[in-house]
Amino acid sequence: MREVIDIRDKEAELKALVGEILQEAQHRGASSAEVSVTQDTGLSVTVRKGELETVEFNQDRSFGITVYFGQSKGSASTSDSSHAAIQDTVSRASDIARYTQDDPCHGLADPDLMPTVLPKLDLFHPMDLDTQKATELAEACEAEGLGYDERVTNSDGAQVNTQQSCRVYGNSHGFIGSYLATRHGISCMLIAEDANGMQRDYWYTVNRDFDALDAPEAVGRTAAERAVARLSPQKVATGTFPVLFSAQMAAGLVGHLLGAISGGALYRKSSFLLDSLNTQVLSEHVSLVEEPHLPKRLGSAAFDGEGVATWDKAFIDRGVVEHYVLSSYSGRKLGLPTTGNAGGVHNLTLSGATQTFDDLLKTLGTGLYVTELMGQGANGVTGDYSRGASGFWVENGEICYPVDEITIASNLRQMYLDVVAVGDDIDERSNVRTPSVLIGAMTVAGR
Amino acid sequence: MSDLVAETQQQLLVPAGIEHSDVEAVMGKLVGGAIDLGEVFFQNYKSESWSLEDGIVKEGSFSVDRGVGVRAISGEKTGFAYAEDIQLPALARATEAARSIARLGGDQRVKAWQRNTPVPKYPSVDPIPSLSGEEKVALLARVDIAARRADNRVQEVNVRLAASHESILVMATDGTLSADVRPLVRMDVSVIVAEGDRRERGFAGGGGRRSLTTFSDDWAEALAREAVRTALVNLEAVDAPAGPMVVVLGPGWPGVLLHEAVGHGLEGDFNRKGSSAFANRIGEKVASPLCTVVDDGTLLNRRGSLTVDDEGTPTCATVLIEDGILKGYMQDKLNAKLMGVQPTGNGRRQSYAYLPMPRMTNTFMQAGDHDPEEIIASCDKGIYAVNFGGGQVDITSGRFVFSTTEAYLIEKGKVGRPIRGATLIGNGPEVMTKVSMVGNDLELDEGVGVCGKDGQTVPVGVGQPTLKIDEVTVGGTQT
């Protein structure tokens, strides 16, 4: 059976490729250029109802180049890294730059913002996982879930995957940086059924280090527990109630907030938090902090998408916006320095006045605990929020029964100022780490 | 008609020095033993986009992605590998990896090739060079000016023009030898309007499988005015109501209802696995007798259309629901075989780097008898929704959502004030039984649909006539 290749062998090759592409751009007369190259390789195995279902080997390499001729810009990308393809791709980007119009804000990031020493992020933990071992782990995960309760009647499968990646970024300032990373995961989706129909739910574990994953059996069991807990849902009466977002769902609330304080939305005047710098947008006890250099974390990065060194900061400190989320371009549009967030954020944590989950339910009293949201009903321009929801009805601080086919609605501006408390249950599995979040009041539409 | 197989072989294989016989030799490794189907999928995908904001064309990008995906199926098992360059050694390695799921396969002859050559549903034209760089920049500028002239409350205008050209060649051990060359173009206009302390966004877009030269100046300017119109409507919007009520859906794009409420639930894989709320219900009543729902990949030049699907099967019009009775599912080869039915030309994949699965093409409801005005006049109180953002479905429970971007109150049979965006939620099999009136005004959408499933996106179309649904939960804020 084929082994997954070790990506470490590729790093020097990819760096040389970046150099070659930059040279080609210079040769074409570009005044500046930047290149990013990625290579990924991995294996993913799915087992369904105890049988191997799919084995997928993935192997991807692509590069993208941006060239500037003065203040005009062109970009091109390809999956082909042959010499002829490099020439063709650079030529395509240069052709486009002949037609695009000058923008004084275009250009590379300032050279003195690029790191000279890269912090050790410890992101590379390759796992020698063959198809057979991966299959056994997936089988163990699914079997535990299917055996958890007789109402777990069907499966959408358990998956084990392992990925290695190498990313290299270089620009014509002479900066070149690279990092190797791994990502491993186990996930499971199960279906439970009773007289009132079927419900599905899933669970997963993900980590840079395979040995730090949750046990496959624990993943299968949690998926089963979650699916069974949703059986025979009820609708609730329409009204205004406090709403507790689970840690997983709270990440979405932070996502909408990041969108609203991101440079792109702000300079396009398409945010509900225009001119919010140094103003209070979240409840006074809530902060949102970025720590890009934490070892082994999923969002860790030494430099951003344009080579700018990343640094620790609070986007929101005790409710007040300290920094927008900016790249060089959006920063120049707004007259502000970049925050090292070209391409996104790196390891965010939401914190606030913390309670245990049980205490949060007591504080909530009677209302809704949301464990799933559906649809895209958040308007980034107005902050209007209306989404499909499922979860549990809570009365007097006790979880009573599952609910679904309801919506929750409000306006994000109002919701952010109405964060009553947060949980002590931060979900560590994501780049945006959030605890449960209790919002004081929202409209719940049901019966 | 040109020979697409020869044309794509010339484009995909000849530059790498790969002969037809080389591919046959590779495919020989995927025949026999425990392997039911072996398949090699070659693809070249080129795309280009241009975007305008602040009144200038700031950015453009071009991309080429080419590669080959190899798949071996044994019963319900699939082995899959791909290579991001089309070269013989890479193809051989991918083949070895894919066949590793069924070690008994190997070294027999492939069935005689059967060329599927249905009549193309679009020209094989490459739309990218169909306009020059100057012409593309001028078209974007024209849209920007049209949007700004439409109303002085327009603050920001973003316009995007995108074109792609895809060539595929599929060879499989069942004798499939099929090719397709697919153009796709699209223009999107997004505007921000402001009045006092209110700001709203408006959007309009359109396109299809054709050349960029089909984007006339008049059409593009009308798109700009439509984006401004929707934004201005929303400046006047009042809070939406909350709770169950009568909902009238306008024609065309609101057909996203069908895509979510029934479409996904009728894809073959979910029904083979028994994970759909519609599983084992063929022949049963799942909608009101007014409803006939079709998935049709053969419509000329439509965004969701395909001459052949990504497994080389010609597309067709598949009746999903007829007069309220569930008639059939959408199938790819794997699920059709396991369910003992014929593939329906719905096997689609995002690219060579993904496995195909049953996906929709253009999904719509046939027209009924009612005049649309008569439908609105029949409602004492409810909402009239004519435009939507995205939707989502949980095919197991059947619950689905879709969110309005332009909707109005209906009061005493008349369309009243616009309401703020609200999510509608329902249960697919239940909601369809509550369709009480169907209009005579079937329309298909303008060509902007994107469908996501298992991390793969593909272009799709939707459509419907005006529909009245007696009860859907509306997720507004007013109780």
B396-419 per-position pLDDT tens digit: 999 999 999 999 999 999 999 999
Residues A355 and A343 in one domain: yes
Residues A165 and A193 in one domain: yes
Q: Which residues of A touch B133 (CB under 8 A)?
A: 95-96, 98-99
Q: How far apart are CA A86 and CA A82, in angstroms?
A: 6
Q: How far apart are CA B404 and CA B406, in angstroms?
A: 6
Residues B258 and B368 in one domain: yes
Q: Tokens at residue B343, please?
A: 């593939």
pLDDT at A5: 60
The two most distant CA atoms of chain A are separated, in Å, by 72
Q: How far apart are CA A27 and CA B381, in angstroms?
A: 68
CATH classification at residue B34: 3.30.2290.10
Q: What angle do CA B60, B61, B62 make, to 5 degrees?
A: 140
CA-nearest residue to B419 within chain A is A384
Scan for tokens 């949201």, then name that residue.
A373
Q: Which residues of A touch B98 (CB under 8 A)?
A: 57
Q: Nearest-CA distance from B1 to chain A in Å? A: 31
Residue B381 sits at the chain A interface (C-beta within 8 Å): no
Q: What is the mean pLDDT of residues A165-187?
A: 96
Residue A51 sits at the chain B interface (C-beta within 8 Å): yes
Percent of chain A whose predicted confidence (pLDDT) is above 70 = 99
Residue A275 sits at the chain B interface (C-beta within 8 Å): no
* B390 has pLDDT over 90: no
Residues B205 and B344 in one domain: no
Q: Nearest-CA distance from B2 to chain A in Å? A: 28
Please indicate whether, in this complex, the C-beta atoms of A62 and B396 are within 8 angstroms of each other: no
Residues A266 and A402 in one domain: yes
B262-321 pLDDT per residue, tens: 999 999 999 999 999 999 999 999 999 999 999 999 999 999 999 999 999 999 999 999
Sheet holding A432-433, edge to edge: A320-321, A313-317, A287-290, A348-351, A432-433
**C-beta of residue A385 within 8 angstroms of C-beta of residue A370:** no
A402-411 pLDDT per residue, tens: 999 999 999 9
Q: What is the mean pLDDT of residues A291-311?
A: 97
Q: Which residues of B touch A88 (CB under 8 A)?
A: 64
Residues B102 and B251 in one domain: no
Residues A153 and A218 in one domain: yes
Residue A106 sits at the chain B interface (C-beta within 8 Å): yes
* A198 has pLDDT over 80: yes
Please indicate whether, in this complex, the C-beta atoms of B201 and A156 are within 8 angstroms of each other: no
pLDDT at B100: 81
* A4 has pLDDT over 80: no
More reliable by pLDDT, B365 or B36: B365
Residues B168 and B256 in one domain: no
Q: Tokens at residue B80, please?
A: 């899959």
Whether residue A438 lies inside any domain: the answer is yes
Q: Which residues of A touch B158 (CB under 8 A)?
A: 268
CATH classification at residue A11: 3.30.2290.10
| Domain ranges, residue A79 | 7-229
Residues A38 and A185 in one domain: yes
Whether residue A1 lies inside any domain: the answer is no
Q: Residue A223: enclosing H or E segment and its boundaries?
A: helix A216-229
Q: Could you say which residues from 289 to 348 on chain B have a Cβ atom under 8 Å away from some Cβ of chain A?
A: none
**A208-238 burial string, b = 16+ CB within 10 Å, else e?**
bbbeebbebbebbbbbbbbbbbbbebebbeb
Q: How far apart are CA A235 and CA A204, in angstroms?
A: 28
Q: What is the mean pLDDT of residues A148-170?
A: 97
Q: What is the mean pLDDT of residues A154-159?
A: 97
Q: Tokens at residue A354, please?
A: 């913390």
Please indicate whether, in this complex, the C-beta atoms of A53 and B403 are within 8 angstroms of each other: no
Whether residue A2 lies inside any domain: the answer is no
Residues A32 and A177 in one domain: yes
Q: What is the mean pLDDT of residues B361-372?
A: 98
* ipTM metric: 0.93
Q: Nearest-CA distance from B414 to chain A in Å? A: 24
How far, CA to CA in Å, does A301 sit from each of A14, A127, B367?
Answer: 18, 21, 55
Please indicate whether, in this complex, the C-beta atoms of B389 and A77 are within 8 angstroms of each other: no
Q: How far apart are CA A269 and CA B179, in angstroms?
A: 46
Q: How many whole angstroms from its chain centre is CA B96?
A: 33
Which sign does the torsion angle of CA A80, A85, A91, A95 carry?
A: negative
Among candidates A95, A96, A405 on the partner chain, residue whose Cβ is nearest the Cβ of B427: A405
Q: Could you say which residues from 230 to 269 on chain A have a Cβ atom under 8 Å away from some Cβ of chain B?
A: 235, 238-240, 268-269
Please tell me the total number of residues recorded for chain A in this structure.
447
Sequence letter at residue A394: V
Mean predicted lDDT score pLDDT of chain B: 94
**Neighbouring-strand partners of residue B427:** B399
Q: Percent helix, strand and coil across chain A, each rounded to 5? A: 25, 40, 35
**C-beta of residue A231 within 8 angstroms of C-beta of residue A199:** yes
Among candidates A80, A381, A447 on the partner chain, residue whose Cβ is nearest the Cβ of B85: A80
**Neighbouring-strand partners of residue A179:** A167
B103-152 pLDDT per residue, tens: 554 455 667 777 777 899 999 999 999 999 999 999 999 999 999 999 99
Please indicate whether, in this complex, the C-beta atoms of A388 and B58 are within 8 angstroms of each other: no
Residue B82 sits at the chain A interface (C-beta within 8 Å): yes
DSSP string for A145-191 = HHTS-TTEEEEEEEEEEEEEEEEEEEETTS-EEEEEEEEEEEEEEEE
Among candidates B63, B93, B137 on the partner chain, residue whose Cβ is nearest the Cβ of A99: B137
Please indicate whether, in this complex, the C-beta atoms of A59 and B83 are within 8 angstroms of each other: yes
Residues A349 and A416 in one domain: yes
Q: How far apart are CA B293 and CA A128, in angstroms?
A: 49
Give the domain-ending residue among A229, A249, A282: A229
Tell me if residue B390 falls in helix, strand or coil.
strand
Residues A179 and A115 in one domain: yes
Q: Nearest-CA distance from A144 to chain B in Å? A: 19
Residues B45 and B189 in one domain: yes
Please indicate whether, in this complex, the C-beta atoms of B137 and A101 are within 8 angstroms of each other: yes
Q: How many CA atoms lie within 13 A of B172 on its CB side?
A: 23
Residues A56 and A168 in one domain: yes
Please indicate whether, in this complex, the C-beta atoms of A405 and B426 are within 8 angstroms of each other: yes
Residue A53 sits at the chain B interface (C-beta within 8 Å): yes
**pLDDT band at A1, cuts 50/70/90?**
very low
Residues B198 and B247 in one domain: no
Long-range CB pairs of A394-400 (<8 Å, 24+ gap) are A394/A244, A394/A361, A394/A364, A394/A365, A394/A366, A394/A367, A394/A368, A394/A369, A395/A366, A396/A365, A396/A366, A397/A358, A397/A361, A397/A362, A397/A363, A397/A364, A397/A365, A398/A361, A399/A361, A399/A369
Give the domain-ending residue among A181, A205, A229: A229
Please indicate whether, in this complex, the C-beta atoms of B93 and A61 are within 8 angstroms of each other: no
A370-404 pLDDT per residue, tens: 999 999 899 999 999 999 999 999 999 999 999 99
B52-99 pLDDT per residue, tens: 999 999 999 999 999 999 999 998 999 999 988 888 988 988 888 888
Residues A288 and A370 in one domain: yes
Residues A27 and A83 in one domain: yes
Residues B188 and B55 in one domain: yes
Please indicate whether, in this complex, the C-beta atoms of B201 and A60 are within 8 angstroms of each other: no
**C-beta of residue B461 within 8 angstroms of C-beta of residue B449:** yes
B171-205 pLDDT per residue, tens: 999 999 999 999 999 999 999 999 999 999 999 99
pLDDT at B2: 53
Phi, psi for B354 (deg, rounded to 5): -130, 155
| Domain ranges, residue B259 | 242-475
More reliable by pLDDT, B27 or B314: B314
How many domains does chain B fold into?
2
Residue of A373, A426, A379 lying closest to A243 (CA atoms):
A373
CA-nearest residue to B56 within chain A is A101
Among candidates B100, B403, B425 on the partner chain, residue whose Cβ is nearest the Cβ of A406: B425
Mean predicted lDDT score pLDDT of chain A: 96
Residues A120 and A269 in one domain: no
**pLDDT band at A285, cuts 50/70/90?**
very high
How many domains does chain A fold into?
2
Residue A196 sits at the chain B interface (C-beta within 8 Å): no
* A227 has pLDDT over 50: yes
Whether residue A298 lies inside any domain: the answer is yes
Please indicate whether, in this complex, the C-beta atoms of B242 and A269 are within 8 angstroms of each other: no
* A348 has pLDDT over 50: yes
Give the domain-ending residue among A185, A202, A229: A229
Sequence letter at residue A121: L
Residues B174 and B277 in one domain: no
Whether residue A162 lies inside any domain: the answer is yes
Q: How many CA atoms lie within 13 A of B348 on its CB side?
A: 27
